[in-house]
A and B are shown apart, each in its own frame.
Chain A
């Protein structure tokens, strides 16, 4: 019970510290803005550790963060192999293919009113299919290895990106397009110089949504048949082996990768759409 008390005391102390920091006159300083969430995260971990140890929770129900950290450090080889299989092969290739195809389709739709009427509903239909329904089908089409996982990711990211790009291409005003016409700009010149830049905030919106979808898709698809590696394989089979600490280590990797993936796309967005009001400082 000592551990529980100590953890609760630590929780309250950090809470008070965070409140003080948020009210202090340095609250707008960069260091403080980073410190507050870091302290909060730390407090959660300490509370978790204290409760699990103090209440003697069985490690097959919920392992302590320290146990997970030890397992993480001891199984970096397995974690790396799973990362390569699921993230680099499954999620990333599916993301690139899915977003690329969605982008090209959006331009085709833009050129042809017929496609707008025909393709968007089909895209909508595919997006509405539950992953647990399409994953087994795609596994039987594309095999057990990462190809079927990439296919699931393609199906998942295609529609959000498509809708956002189609919407983004409608962003310019008639006045702006008329101006391009008075310059005698061709369709592609108008597209490259005016419409695509204007569409970028929407495009990146889709790309950011797709990052998390890609990771979820690749992991969950591995539940429906996989080679004996991959993050989804490890998570779905670890519980049966009571290797819960390894499952949590994989979850930690997934969380880190998901955050980093999102962060990278958000950084590219900042660079590309520097002109947009949402990115301007002050």
Chain B
């Protein structure tokens, strides 16, 4: 009898080891320290401990994670809340299950010599903005300031900025979009010192939106097995994030090792990891409903043709605390 129990136990363990649950994660952007937590969890075996077999798919300038998950190409995606809510209104019911980023890294940075010292000085200036779903906070901000975005003396001229900082260096734009952990460092690397710059953080301007949350399709959440899988995934991912925060240099190395394109340099990733750690520091992975409310309120205050993120209060379950509640017990 004892032998039988042992045998059954072994068989169960072996069976479980073989049948690790597959999870596919679609990132919002290319492999970089912005996603260090997931790569660290992978590399350090945190996913394995939870009996998960995780595939991390890097994104890129032409990859919309919302579209990938709608097409069944991923189980869970990393995206910004504004884009997630916009997708929800367009018939891709995404649900926020965790929010590893407490604060946001999106900023508008301007050259001091352009005479900009506060948002009141934007009128008549040219501003570089990232599109592809990243433009929602910008248009919300302009609406809040009452600035038209069609150019002219009283308005601002908007440029679709590529994902680099050239327009600022070449003075084609007075201000450009940067992430604290990436492009801002590139501006500094280009030889412009911090006191030549004026930088506005979207969160501090009251138009911040939750960045880099984890989203899944609503219909999957009615499946208990999927939910349980996500609980384990979030738990392991947060473990990865906290490890990355404490060991930024090691995390940067892991990221560079995982970058199949070979485009990332260790120095830049170390910088990025140290900045990203500031954004994840305040979060245990659980979304604060107040942050959600603020994002929705900001978006709704700025509904226009340029900013079609959402036109009404999100219907149904736009976020759930169920997964993190269970994962973080």
Contacts and interface: CB of A to CB of B under 8 A. Distances in A.
Given A60-B92, A242-B87, A242-B90, A144 B132 contact: no
Given A61-B67, A239-B67, A140 B62 contact: no
Given A58-B70, A58-B91, A59-B91, A240 B160 contact: no
Contact of A239 (B62, B91, B92, B166): B62
Contacts of A116: none
Interface stretch (A222-230, A254-262, A274-282): A222-230
B91 A60 contact: yes
A139 B161 CA distance: 11
A227 B160 contact: yes
Given A226-B159, A237-B160, A239-B64, A60 B70 contact: yes
Contacts of B226: none
B191 interface: no
A233 interface: yes
B170 A140 contact: yes
A139 B166 CA distance: 10
Contacts of B265: none
A236 interface: yes
Contacts of A143: 172
A58 B91 CA distance: 8
B67 A60 contact: yes
Interface residue range, chain B? 20 to 34
Contacts of B160: 144, 222, 225-228, 233, 237
Contacts of B124: none
A242 B159 contact: no
Contacts, number: 82
A226 B161 CA distance: 7
Nearest to A75: B305
A197 interface: no
Nearest to B309: A241
A233 B162 CA distance: 11
Contact of B134 (A224, A228, A236, A240): A240
A240 B131 contact: yes
Contacts of A140: 166, 170, 172
**Chain A contact residues: helix, strand, loop or mixed:** loop
Contacts of A58: 70-71, 91-92
B167 interface: yes
A228 B160 CA distance: 6
Nearest to A225: B162
A240 B83 contact: yes
Contacts of A233: 131, 160
Nearest to B164: A136
Nearest to A222: B160
A240 B159 contact: no
A227 B90 CA distance: 25
B172 A60 contact: no
Contact of A242 (B62, B64, B129, B161): B64
Contact of B158 (A61, A224, A228, A243): A228
Given A239-B64, A242-B66, A227 B133 contact: no
B61 to A, nearest CB: 9
Contacts of B92: 58, 60, 242
Interface string B58-74: 00001010110011000
Contact of B162 (A136, A227, A228, A244): A136
Given A60-B87, A226-B160, A228-B158, 15 more contacts: A58-B91, A59-B90, A60-B67, A61-B71, A140-B170, A140-B172, A225-B167, A236-B131, A239-B62, A240-B134, A241-B86, A242-B66, A242-B86, A242-B87, A242-B133
28 contacts: A59-B91, A60-B70, A60-B91, A60-B92, A139-B162, A140-B166, A140-B170, A144-B160, A144-B172, A225-B160, A225-B162, A225-B167, A226-B160, A227-B159, A228-B129, A228-B159, A228-B306, A233-B131, A237-B131, A237-B135, A237-B160, A239-B62, A239-B67, A239-B132, A241-B308, A242-B66, A242-B67, A242-B86
Interface of A: 58-61, 136, 139-140, 143-144, 222, 224-228, 233, 236-237, 239-244
